[in-house]
Amino acid sequence: MNLNNKKLKKIKSDASFRYFYRKKSNIKNSIIVYANKEKERNLLIYDAINNLLIKNNILAPKLYNENYKKNFIEIEDFGDLTLLKLLKKKTTNKLSLFKSSIHLLNKIQRIQENKIKNFKGKYYKIEDYNNKKLFDEAKLFSIWYVPKFISKNKQSKFNKLIKKQIEFLLSKIKLKNNIFVHRDFHVSNLMKYKNEIATIDTQDALIGNRAYDLVSLIDDVRFKTTVKFKNKIYNYYLNLNKKNINKNNFKNDFEILSVLRNLKIIGIFTRLAIRDEKMKYLKLIPYTWKLIELRMEKNIIFNELKKLLDINFSIKIRNQ
């Protein structure tokens, strides 16, 4: 594929190793997804997950063509209107848009299958979002962020203490891993298309905790909302799912997963800046800290972690 072809226009990339190009056509536009790193995940698995969603009547990009040898697939183009763009408009009814996202989430969470054929004709089985994966993700905070602010001679002690706290929190999770989890279900990955909401960036989907995708939506680091608004969306989800949910267990897991997810995000954003020179994500870290503080604030389960973070990361550091 010639990426300099005049019919191809490079469009905004994301935090992955993929590159996206819009292919203009008189009949229909399409998106070329190019990935020569993590190719299986970014092309083969991405399409397999999309197929599973489409099979369950969820709007995800259809595959038009693939050339796996040359590192690209051609998929359906949903345009440029993410929910994030819509939410930034003053005229948008934000509550209505979030409620629509909750209805889409409910639809996704009703998916029963965990296997789907990829375009090579082989079955891909979605893995479990187990505690080891959650632990390894939260550890990214220690690997990438901690060395920036804690001196070398203190890092070892800090990392042992935070490891202990992460393991403790994971041991307190109550819900089963039995729900399809998009894993990045936030307003930048939801598109308004033909009066429906479509989902993209699905390649990291796993079978995990019911609370996880709600955390991604409500405690989204890219779009600030008030605590009152967060509570409205949270309660809307609970009311729609009251037959399936133990409220106390769900709240417990929601708060734990929010804290662990946002520690992971701080680690990932720091890695993107240091390793990949994608500096734009650093400006999102102060709000990510605010979300961690919010979820730790009134829950005694976080007492030791809160002390540990407060001692080592001042308000000045958190706002950098």
Domains contained in the chain, CATH given = 79-318 (3.90.1200.10)
pLDDT at position 269: 97
pLDDT at position 24: 85
| Closest CA relative to residue 208, chosen from 241, 240, 175 | 175
Identify residue 129 by its one-letter amino acid code. Y
How far apart (Å, rounded) are the C-alpha atoms in residues 30 and 81?
15
pLDDT at position 13: 66
Identify residue 306 by its one-letter amino acid code. K
Identify residue 137 by its one-letter amino acid code. E
This prediction's pTM? 0.94
pLDDT at position 110: 97
pLDDT at position 178: 96
127: left (phi over 0), alpha (psi -120 to 50) or beta: beta
Task: Give the single-character DSSP code of 32.
Answer: E
Q: Residue-wise over 179-217: b if at least 16 C-beta within 10 A, else e?
A: bbbbbbbbbbbbbbbeeebbbbbbbebbbbbbbbbbbbb
| Closest CA relative to residue 43, chosen from 33, 29, 31, 32 | 33
How far apart (Å, rounded) are the C-alpha atoms in residues 48 and 27?
25
Q: What is the pLDDT along the chain (320 residues), one digit of tens a residue?
A: 555 565 788 887 666 678 999 998 878 889 999 998 889 999 999 999 999 999 999 999 999 999 999 999 999 999 999 999 999 999 999 999 999 999 999 999 999 999 999 999 999 999 999 999 999 999 999 999 999 999 999 999 999 999 999 999 999 999 999 999 999 999 999 999 999 999 999 999 999 999 999 999 999 999 999 999 999 999 999 999 998 899 999 999 999 999 999 999 999 999 999 999 999 999 999 999 999 999 999 999 999 999 999 999 999 999 98
How far apart (Å, rounded) are the C-alpha atoms in residues 129 and 161?
24
pLDDT at position 37: 87
How far apart (Å, rounded) are the C-alpha atoms in residues 23 and 113?
33
Tokens of 71: 């590192």
Q: Which helix (H) or strand (E) holds 171?
A: helix 152-171
Which strands sit side by side in the sheet containing 30-34, from one edge to the other? Answer: 8-11, 19-23, 30-34, 72-76, 63-67
Task: Give the single-character DSSP code of 15.
Answer: S
Contacts for 57 with CB less than 8 Å, ≥ 6 apart: 107
